[in-house]
Amino acid sequence: MAEIKYEVTAKYGVLSTSKSGWTKEVRSISWNDKEAKFDIREWAPGDEKMGKGITLSTEEMRELKKILNGLDL
């Protein structure tokens, strides 16, 4: 399988930590040397593995912010 190159360029915060120590986090990640995108994803302790997640553009983050601010959480 082809290797995916990535670089974490920013860490904005942790949403939760599982019993096994995996964290769900908001970060910015550059994939294959491209411009960094926002990312919400699970990470193993010490960032040794990455789990499932999604990438989001700045515009998508803006829309997400609007939606969250309209919800009674």
The residue ranges that bind a second copy (CB under 8 A) are 12-16, 24, 26, 40-41, 52-54, 56-71, 73
CB of 12 to a second copy, least distance (A): 5
CB of 49 to a second copy, least distance (A): 16
DSSP state of 63: H
CB of 28 to a second copy, least distance (A): 10
Cα pseudo-dihedral 39, 43, 45, 46, rounded to 10: -50
Other residues' Cβ atoms within 10 Å of the Cβ of residue 20: 7
Residue number, 2 or 67, with CB nearest to a second copy? 67
- Residue where the block lists tokens 């986090």: 25
